[in-house]
Structure 1
């Protein structure tokens, strides 16, 4: 087991501070410690006991080695460099010391085995990755061994890849096919121990884009089984294994650049057990939705299983190498005599049987909303949850925001409910609140937005922003498709209607599907503990 320790190099810290001029602003505390420290440790096969260390890690400016045999530590050397040391036969606990930019170091223990016996009891495990195309992983372990080399047998790649004894090496071939792998296990002895095997690098196709993002919905209008958009039913088991493993079927959670999805491999039939084996009532829902990607399945059969058990299937065609969005009416199950008030399992069956792989995302039941969060917004409906989210407090946390009773039924606003946004003392200049719309804005109804605003002061800049929440994110995680429009309050402690001409906003485009409203009270100014109210967000011509 590797143990991590932390030390501070005052020498490196002094040099760093000494190099800073008067105009520099160095945040030493903000610099991350070196991490993921390890070292490839190899030994010369000549009975000399010469061991070479090749350290690697992240955020490292230099390394040194404590050899663990009582001798002096090495000098510091740069990343990518190596250092060698002569050991007597034995087992040693060396330390890899990695220094970061701010002078702080991370230490990692590294066991060094120096034996003049050839490796014995060589065990090699070769795994063909079921999710990543043409990827093979090798793990070799032997008594008396320090490291091993793997020749993967691909044309034009004659050099081996090395790893410490007991660690894994992964390799992705350029082409699918059959290859001869040779594993050479080495100790300090002249003699080595080898293992040879043929492996098949298989072609596993997978999606390169995410499934379509589901629309914003009220919590009461959706029951989610799997996906990142909505809150999923707790306790769901996505691979209860009803015997599929015996047919060669398996599953994993495929990660596409941070977007996770279910991956069922050699799909015969696959069960999904809901809510810790209890049941859910979907009789109030209208559709079952899922997004499916496959390279080799022709159809997928979906069954709902009610307590009893009783089940009924619905089969849908799939289009190869692209996402197929499936919406099955609940009536397609109930018309077959299935009761859907106690659904405790779902079942997926592939055609051909156990002959293909599927990626599945966004499994949920839903119904059409009687009322939706969309423009115009007046906040009067008791059937809708207006899920505003505040942001930009002094600690970058949320600021208070809520739908409340109108505190001042006067002038231009006699309605009952309004949105209250507090901007606490010290809140960020960009503090505000956002609301996801369930229906995107229709600009045939106008490209001007009017908002009733109650401000505690005149001259407050009110920023109105809209985003396409599904657009690519910037470095801060914010959508890159948006527009911003400004208006300024002219009265204090009273309601007034502000007008935002969207056509003057940089980046505005009526073709964009804007689905998020964001309000910034007193934009550009730090919070002073003031409260702002907003109401009647609507379009006009």
Structure 2
């Protein structure tokens, strides 16, 4: 058996060596990681024989073997999906699961094997609903002398149990919410087993467990925000005027999802949003109204714009919703104005109507009007536009500002440049960042050139890009980013530095980098020096 599997592995290896990637390059087997997430379901027969069966699994594995931990010879290698059996004397053993990848790299995982001819005792079972997935139930069982357990989840037509190692969890997603009889059978090597039975309700998730998609960066003049944390909202807005709907059984509140707040309309008949008294907004210059909506049970949402001019009235537009996920809605303003006799120059209320009537709940975030900009903050950046606000934010005791080019000569004859003052005592990581309104277009290249004026040669300039919406680290910084360093070569003159993004660890064209960060004289404490930057652009 061992020779057969060794021959199979050699065959697969030889096949891969003779192959190439789609781009014609050879496959780098040395770069293939060792197997990951290696484990094994370990069961034992209930007949006092001590016969244990291992069902190994893992990622990137071509073959497995087991060192049983009882002094006996290790098993031969087996392929994925095959099982290994071994008979133990009563006792506690530490077996090793050895998983081999295609390039011969191995991963070893220790597995405790309890072989007891006593029935399991002190069985403890914990059953929970998943907080993020509707109708998903997780069971975890532990018992003295047990090796594994079976769970019968009690759904009609699903009679087979799901097995798990003692102390590990097993999950199941029901077709329908409701109360089910869950039976847990804890097993050792003894003939006798130990059982636990409980009635448990598999629940629907009735509120979002993740935030709505983050809105893009926009110029202040391109957006009128009603509700949300991304932009500045219209002041004095009343999000819960009620309009007598409490009598329909409706209610409302602001739902807090780990610090991310959103509007919550319960048993939505219709509810509204009203601007401050005597306040209206002119949205005739906007292209769309945007809303992010989460619901478990509302099929459609009707959104109406209401004019302050009574004769103008209101106009509705209805959109379908998708249950148990965020639905991003973008309604053209023209969908309202195309309805006879309606103008949007003095909108002072929004009305929201649910289907079915007064029977479902919605969560709403990011309500804003917006227009597609004639210009946007995007690479290439030259700081020459009078219509754009280049909102660089300095940090680490570095000040940032757009100023007149102080040295209009040589490699840079433009009028406006970015000035970074790295003050005396500034942090070694001090710099400035700018949010982009459009992410990188990789068809324009994966190299970025930056025109730099430095007061000294040999200053390290760190160019960084982030995906601002990626998960944050312990310091609140995005975890998806790239960094490239290049040193200046002249002093007191403009020079073009080239940053090859593909050399940055973690670079991927799948990432939507939307923030640029510049670090002048990176790694050095500030000395009061000033640096200038301009003409940030891509090239091939």
Q: Does 1:213 align with 2:214?
A: yes
The answer as to 2:411 corresponding to 1:412 is yes
Matching residue of 2:491: 492
Per-residue CA deviations over 1:396-455 (Å, capped at 9, x if unaligned) read: xxx321111100001100000000011111111100000011110011211111100001
Superposition map of 1:85-100 within 5 A: none
The answer for the alignment partner of 1:352 in structure 2 is: 356
In 1, Cα distance between equivalents of 2:428 and 2:493 = 23
User: Could you tell me which residue of structure 2 aligns to residue 266 of structure 1?
Assistant: 267
Please state how far the C-alpha of 1:308 moved relative to its aligned partner. 2.2
Q: Deviations over 1:251-271 (max 9, x none)?
A: 111112221111110001011
Q: Is the 8 A contact 2:484 2:501 kept in 1?
A: yes
2:464 alignment partner in structure 1 = 465
Q: Deviations over 1:52-91 (max 9, x none)?
A: xxxxxxxxxxxxxxxxxxxxxxxxxxxxxxxxxxxxxxxx
Query: Is 2:371 the counterpart of 1:372?
Result: no
Give the alignment's TM-score, normalised by structure 2. Answer: 0.62
How many Å apart are 1:275 and its aligned residue?
3.6
- Structure 1 residues 245 and 277, CA, compared in 2 at 3 Å: closer, same or farther? farther
Q: Give the structure 1 partner of residue 231 of structure 2.
A: 230
Of the candidates 290, 312, 315, which is equivalent to residue 318 of structure 2? 315
- Given that residues 288 and 328 in structure 1 are in contact (C-alpha distance below 8 angstroms), is that contact kept between their aligned partners in structure 2? yes
2:249 matched residue in structure 1: 248
Cα distance in 2, alignment partners of residues 407 and 202 from structure 1: 66
What's the offset of the Cα at 1:319? 1.0
Written as runs of structure 1 = structure 2, the 5 A alignment for 1:391-540 is: 391-393=395-397, 399-540=398-539
> 2: distance between equivalents of 1:202 and 1:235?
38
1:12-51 matches, within 5 Å, as none
Paired residue for 2:146? none
SS at match of 1:370: coil
In structure 2, the residue matched to 1:51 is none
| Aligned-pair CA distance for 1:276 | 4.3
* Aligned counterparts of 1:205 and 1:284: Cα–Cα separation in 2: 37
- Determine the C-alpha separation between the residues in 2 that align with 1:470 and 1:390: 20
Report matched runs for 1:63-74 at 5 Å. none
Aligned counterparts of 1:478 and 1:373: Cα–Cα separation in 2: 21
Give the secondary-structure state (helix, strand or coil) at the position aligned to 1:526.
coil
Kept in 2: contact 1:302–1:347 (CA 8 A)? yes
**Count of residues in Structure 1 that have an aligned counterpart in Structure 2:** 343
Quick one: distance in 2 between partners of 1:500 and 1:276?
53
Assess if the C-alpha contact under 8 Å between 1:237 and 1:276 holds in 2.
no
Deviation at 1:202, TM superposition (A): 9.3
Over residues 326-346 of structure 1, what are the superposed CA-to-partner deviations in whole Å (9 max), with x where a residue is unaligned?
Answer: 111111111112111111000
Separation in structure 2 between the aligned mates of residue 480 and residue 343 of structure 1, nearest angstrom: 41
Work out the CA distance in 2 between the residues paired with 1:247 and 1:392.
Answer: 54
User: Does 1:289 pair with 2:293?
Assistant: no
Which residue among 328, 333, 339 is the counterpart of 2:331?
Answer: 328
- CA distance in structure 1 between the partners assigned to 2:205 and 2:307 by the alignment: 34
In structure 2, what is the Cα distance between the partners aligned to 1:487 and 1:201? Answer: 57
Q: Deviations over 1:150-187 (max 9, x none)?
A: xxxxxxxxxxxxxxxxxxxxxxxxx9999xxxxxxxxx
Distance 1:379 1:338 in 2: 40
For structure 1, the 5+ residue unaligned runs are: 1-132, 135-174, 179-199, 394-398
Write the distance in 2 (CA, Å) between the matches of 1:409 and 1:359: 54
RMSD, matched Cα:
2.0
Question: Which stretches in structure 2 are left out of the alignment for 5+ residues?
Answer: 1-133, 136-175, 180-200
Instruction: Tell me the secondary structure at the aligned position of residue 329 of structure 2.
Output: strand
Q: Does 1:341 align with 2:358?
A: no
Check the 8 A contact 2:288/2:370 in 1, yes or no.
yes
TM-score, normalised with respect to structure 1: 0.61
Contact persistence 2:287–2:332 (CA under 8 A): yes
Query: CA–CA distance in 2 between the matches of 1:177 and 1:276?
Result: 47
Q: Provide closer, same or farther for how the CA distance between residues 495 and 308 of structure 1 changes in structure 2, counting only shifts above 3 A.
A: same
